[in-house]
Amino acid sequence: MNKTGRIFLILAAAWLIVLPVFAQQPPQILKVEPPNWWANHTINPVRMLVRGENLTNAQVVSKNVSLKISNVKINRLGDYLFFDVTIAKNAKVGKYEFEVSTDKGKTIVPFEISAPLDAKTNFQSITNDDVIYLIMPDRFADGDASNNKDADRQNPRAWHGGDFKGITSKIPYLKELGITAIWLTPWHDNTDDVTTCDKPWCPMTSYHGYGAIDYYGVENHFGTFAELREMIETAHRSGIKVIQDQVANHIGFKHPWAKNPPLENWFPPFKQNTFNNSVLLSPNASPAERNNSLKGWFDFSLPDLNQEEPEVARYEIQNTLWWIAMTGVGGIRQDTIQYMPRKFIRDWSTAIFKQYPKFWMVGEVFEDDSAHTAFFQGGKKGWDGIDTNLPSVFDFKLWRTSQEVFTGKKPMRALRDVLKYDGFYPNINNVTLLANNHDTDRFMSLTGATLEGAMLHTAFILSTRGIPQLYYGEEILMTGGHDPDNRKDFPGGFAGDKTDKSTKSGRTADEQKMFEWTQMWIKLRRDNQSIRTGRTTDLFYNNDAYIFERRGLFERIIIGINRSDKIIETTFESPDSYIKEVSEKTNLTSLVGNIEDAEFENEKIILKLPPKTIVAYKLR
Ligand SMILES: [Ca+2]
Ligand SMILES: [Ca+2]
Ligand SMILES: [Ca+2]
């Protein structure tokens, strides 16, 4: 016998001694996902994923006739158990049990059938009528010091203590501003551990929420599940919908799956995402290149999940439906959606619509390219034969261009040159147009930023097509460069803050001007259907001015922007013969600006645009 043979024999003998010790242990249950479900749900049977120990050869039995078990599957190591639960139509709300047994013993999997939330006050989908406001829960308001574990407001990458109770206390402020929906960055439970490394961004924490360790858990720093529901119900009572941020593409590295995945193919083969995103759009990309972006991990610390494994896809689709049913949210923002297979996006969207036919989801496709983002919006099949069914995507191209235009880096006509691609989108009015977000520098910290520029940028975002999305604090001119500087605490939300910018007395004159301006343009949009869902017609554009019409069913609104410090007087043809009616000036009103600055004669419009402002004229 050679050396290898002897080692093999010793190992085999050792295994024979150790194996019976393990096999003698009774089964144990550590985690049950989902912990509950609903009778008469479109997902029936529901697929269970149970993490435990000593589950090899386990039998699973339902102890109640209303719930039936089938398709039991146990992974190779005997620490994960999958099975279907078929729920009878008349299954009663309450607690249930499944018995898991091996020849070494038995244990119980707890389960529950829940009562559905009231559909009249919950699941109110986001529409073109909404204005969204993005909040980072850790950075907005601290309503409960008892959950501030290891909070350190001096460290921009530490937890700061913001929470659900804090947001609840600021609902009156949000209502005063006029927004109708809040999007919160993820509230999935993330690790409380501090990450250390030799990079400049360490030590860091998961205050941002993008590395889930429990897809069915709420972040303890933000509060309890009951406090989340209280926040959502308070928002709903004020006419404010809530959007949940979900991250199906990847998990945090402290998630139990990272060390011990339920199946061998739970993660795609480890390879760092190349972020060569154009291969996700191009029909000509080589499969190898596409796989590097689609199947590579988002980051070493954020393992991607393999949605091509049906158990992963099933788990994630159920998880989304569970959160909607449990919380009553009106929309979902799906993170880094382009790094998941388009077939999965389609199946995910389709399953949501089956249960909530009018639901709304927006996908983050962070690209400066209209054709690329449009490819991911649902409503039309792509070259791959897939219609993602996804209602909305963010318009990063128009956002960036607006920032560049209103900080003087590009001519005004650049806005029109982005909008000319609107036809690429299957549903342009359902595109989400961000004014800014938590991954980008705040407007007031951009080179060339001025108060007037910020005002024009905000007004443009709120008057053009799409669903506008604002970022917390821009309405009070908060500054901040690269992440995490752009995620500073909202002044006044935290104990010991010198001023409270959510009250008029806490704001400077400029901050108050910006607040009232934002408020006014939100109201203008809310009051006029043509701005929310009308058609855009370009009327005039040059280096410093852009004039366009938003035409709805009941009114037409002409919007004119002049970014220069001189009056711009321009005469242009009307888009059609309606100018004849207007020339009588009967039904013309000014929404913003002086009525005397607009003249109509001989089927022509003469507009005097005052410097550094935006005007709006309405024709009924
Ligand atoms: Ca707190
Ligand atoms: Ca946590
Ligand atoms: Ca992926």
492-507 pLDDT tens trace: 999 999 999 999 999 9
Instruction: Tell me, in angstroms, the distance from the centre of ligand 2 to residue 149's CA.
Output: 9
- State the average pLDDT for the chain: 93
Model confidence pLDDT, tens digit, residues 94-139: 999 999 999 999 999 999 999 999 999 999 999 999 999 999 999 9
Q: How far is the CA of 507 from the centre of ligand 1 (A)?
A: 24
Query: What is the reported pLDDT for 256?
Result: 98
- Ligand nearest to C-alpha 189: 2
Say if residue 473's pLDDT is above 60. Answer: yes
Return d(Cα 552, Cα 538) in angstroms, integer.
15
Which ligand has the nearest atom to the CA of 205?
2
Residue 392 carries which side chain, given as an amino acid letter?
A: S
Ligand 1 geometric centre to CA of 222 (Å): 6
**600: which strand partners?**
605
Across 41-51, average pLDDT: 98
Distance 216 CA to ligand 2 centre (A): 12
Query: Which ligand approaches the C-alpha of residue 192 most closely?
Result: 2
Q: Which ligand is nearest to the CA of 138?
A: 1
**Type and span of the H or E element at 614:** strand 613-619
Does residue 513 surpass a pLDDT of 70?
A: yes
Q: Which ligand is nearest to the CA of 316?
A: 3
420 phi and psi angles, rounded to 5 deg: -65, -15
The answer to whether residue 163 scores a pLDDT higher than 60 is yes
CA distances from 426 to 83, 327, 378, 392, 429 (A): 39, 30, 7, 10, 9
382-413 pLDDT, tens digit each: 999 999 999 999 999 999 999 999 999 999 99
Pairing state between β 556-562 and 545-551? antiparallel
Distance 605 CA to ligand 3 centre (A): 52
Helices (DSSP H) in 164-309: which residue ranges?
A: 164-169, 171-177, 225-237, 256-259, 287-294
Tell me how far the alpha carbon of residue 208 lies from the centroid of ligand 1, in angstroms. Answer: 14
pTM score over 0.85 = yes
- Taking only the tens place, the pLDDT of each residue in 250-270 is 999 999 999 999 999 999 987
Query: Which-ligand-closest: CA of 217?
Result: 2
Q: How far is the CA of 167 from the centre of ligand 1 (A)?
A: 10
For 13, the enclosing helix (H) or strand (E) is: helix 3-23
**How confident is the model at residue 1, as a pLDDT?**
46
345-379 per-position pLDDT tens digit = 999 999 999 999 999 999 999 999 999 999 999 99
Q: How far does the centroid of ligand 2 lie from the alpha carbon of residue 48, in Å?
A: 24
Kindly give the interhelix angle for 310-327 and 225-237, rounded to the nearest 10 degrees: 60
Proximal ligand: closest to the CA of 193: 2
- State phi, psi for 99 to the nearest 5 degrees: -100, 130
Distance 153 CA to ligand 1 centre (A): 12
pLDDT at 14: 52
Asked whether the beta carbons of 396 and 366 are under 8 A apart, the reply is yes
- Segment (H or E) for 419: helix 413-419
If you average pLDDT over residues 229-234, what whole number do you get?
98
69, 75, 77, 78 alpha-carbon torsion, rounded to 10°? 0
* Residue 604 confidence (pLDDT): 76
Detail the DSSP E strand segments found in 237-293.
241-246
**pLDDT tens digit sequence for 417-472:** 999 999 999 999 999 999 999 999 999 999 999 999 999 999 999 999 999 999 99
Of the given ranges (87-91, 200-204, 243-247, 252-256), which has the lowest mean pLDDT?
A: 200-204
Q: How far is the CA of 595 from the centre of ligand 1 (A)?
A: 50
For residue 83, pLDDT beyond 60 = yes
CA angle 532, 537, 539 (to 5 degrees): 125
Spacing, Cα 250 to ligand 3 middle (Å): 7
Distance from the alpha carbon of residue 221 to the mean position of ligand 2, in angstroms: 6
pLDDT of residue 5 exceeding 60: no
pLDDT at 554: 83
pLDDT tens, residue by residue, 597-610: 888 776 678 899 99
Sign of CA dihedral 527, 530, 533, 537: negative
